[in-house]
Copies of this chain bind each other. A is one copy, B any other.
C-alpha cells in the first residue's frame, strides 16, 4: 500500500466544518466571526509516551486526547486537527485500529481531521489541534495560566495518579490485581479530555492548565505565570487516586507514601487544575455538574511565592516529589 492509498483509506473523510479538508496543499478553515483560534501541538514517541506493544486503538485515542486536553485547559471548543505520522511500515491492521481510535474520539468531540503528513520512520505521532474561544466585548474568554490571584481556591478535576499506578505495574515495579490493573490501565492508555468542563469554566475559573507531567510540576506553571504561591492539602490530595478505597491500598500492595507521590507527581493524568475566587464556589459547582465531571478543592493561592504542602492538621509536609522532565 502506497502513501496516498494509505491516506485515502484510513484518514480521508469529507470535510464538514472545514472549507477544505485532506487532499490539497493546505486545508482551509474559516473561524466563526468574533472568535479566537486556540492552537496546541503534542508529539508522542514510542518508548517514551507509550510502549511498542500498546493497543493501536487506544494509542489513536490517546494521541488526540492529550491535544483535546490542551484545548480543554483553555476553555476552547474543538474544531479540527492535523495528523503527522511516521511509521516504520504500512501495517494495515495497525492503521485500521489506530484510525478507529483516533476518529472515534474526534467524532465524539466534533473535531475534524483536516490534513497532515505520512512518512516512513520510527513511530511518531504529531497532532496539532484547533479550537475556538469566544471574544466578548473585545476580551478573549480563553482560560490562561496567568490569572490566579491571592486567595483563589485551587481545584483539580477527576482523579489523579491512576495512570502512574498502571505504568508502574506495566514496568513491573509493583503487582496489581487484574481488575485494578485494567481500571488504571484504561486511565493511562485512554485518558478522557475534560473538554466540557473547560468550556463550562469560561468566565468562572481565573486560571487553568491540564495535568500531563504531574500536579506539583504543572501547578508551578500557574504559580510562575501568575506571580503567586500556593498551599495544597495532602490529606485531600492523597484520596484523589481513583482506587483509594481499593483493598490493594489497604493490604500494602501500594505503599502509602507512593500513593501520595503518584497523585502529586505521577504524570499522564490529563485532568484540569484550575483556580477560582472563593466567591465563585457555587459557579464552580454548577460548571462541574453541567460538565458531568467531579472537581475537588485541594488548596489555596497565596501571595507568598512557592508551593507548600500541609497535612490534615495544617502541619508542613516535606515536598520530595519530582515532576517529569523530558531532558532532565
- A→B interface (CB under 8 Å): 1-4, 6, 19-20, 23-31, 33, 36-49, 70-71, 73-74, 76, 82-87, 89-90, 114-122, 124, 126, 128, 130-131, 133, 135, 140, 142, 144-146, 208-210, 225, 325-328
Contacts and interface: CB of A to CB of B under 8 A. Distances in A.
A4 B121 CA distance: 26
A49 B128 contact: no
B26 A73 contact: yes
Given A82-B128, A126-B84, A121 B29 contact: no
Given A42-B117, A120-B326, 17 more contacts: A2-B327, A3-B327, A24-B144, A25-B74, A25-B210, A26-B70, A27-B39, A30-B135, A39-B82, A39-B115, A41-B116, A41-B128, A44-B119, A86-B124, A87-B327, A118-B326, A118-B327
Contacts of A4: 325
B31 A89 contact: no
Nearest to A122: B122
Contact of A124 (B40, B74, B82, B121): B121
B328 A2 contact: yes
A104 to B, nearest CB: 21
